[in-house]
A = this chain, B = another copy of it.
Amino acid sequence: MNDLRREVRKKIENGEFNCEKELTLSIISGKWKITIIYYLGTDGTLRFSEIKHLFPKITHKVLTTQVRELEEDGIIQRRVFPEVPPRVEYSLTELGQSLMPIVLMMYEWGKQNLKSFNK
């Protein structure tokens, strides 16, 4: 769905309208992004390895690209500690924080409607 990301940014540059919802969607779309945002929003700060631990099935590379895109979008902050071995901590930016209400609402909606989908 990163097609959306690029496409929406292009639309914005061109001053096209009607892409506000797509903008928001394009940011949180990605198999792990909302959950990453959710955890960072509730836990505060997490190391790369801690996030990786939260998703047993995520690949190293995939996590890297997901956080990188979120960083590009200004949603999360990446702080590198010049140590050996390296330590990298991620946290929500203010912009990312402002996304939390939406994420929480999605969480609530999902919780309330889980049964409907459990055939």
Q: Which residues of A are at the interface with B, using a C-beta cutoff of 8 A?
A: 1, 3-4, 9, 12-13, 18-25, 28-29, 31, 34-35, 38, 73-74, 95, 98-99, 101-103, 105-111, 113-114, 116-119
Contact = CB atoms under 8 A, between A and B. Distances in A.
Contacts of A108: 20
Given A21-B110, A102-B105, 19 more contacts: A1-B1, A1-B31, A3-B31, A12-B118, A13-B119, A20-B108, A20-B109, A20-B110, A21-B38, A22-B35, A23-B114, A23-B117, A24-B106, A25-B29, A95-B113, A95-B116, A99-B109, A102-B102, A102-B109
Given A21-B38, A34-B21, A101 B106 contact: no
Given A31-B3, A111-B20, A106 B12 contact: no
Main secondary structure of the interface of A (DSSP, over half): helix
B107 A24 contact: yes
Given A18-B35, A101-B105, A102-B106, A113 B23 contact: yes
Contacts of A34: 21-22, 25
Given A12-B117, A102-B102, A117-B9, A21 B1 contact: no
